[in-house]
Amino acid sequence: MVLKNLLRRKGRTALTVLGISVGVAAIIALGALANGLEGGYGAVLKGSQADLVLSQPDAMDIMYSSLDESYEGELAVIPGIEKTSSMIQGFLTAEDAPYFF
């Protein structure tokens, strides 16, 4: 009975299958994008050999955080801290690729 109903309304069945496929593909793509971004941040942090990364408490994301350079000197005198370093990050728009940042 179910198969008969599916075959009787082929257009609706095809659109339903297409909609489900697009939804599943979107979820998979967003998951892959999230994993890629997380891996990118992880590679940056591992490359810096940082055990601790500081950012502004009210910053929406670490990319938008800004700290005064005086914190580096204050942290360097804390016992157990061997080394401190700063990192500069920013956004750049390429003229040839305006939608790539």
Q: For residues 57 and 65, what is the distance between their CA atoms, to the nearest angstrom?
A: 8
pLDDT given at position 29: 95
pLDDT at 16: 94
pLDDT block averages, 10 residues each, the chain of length 101:
84 94 97 86 69 76 76 84 76 69 51
Q: What gap in Å lies between CA 34 and CA 38, rounded to an integer? A: 6
CA distance 80 to 78: 6
The predicted pLDDT at position 85 comes to 77
pTM above 0.75, yes or no: no
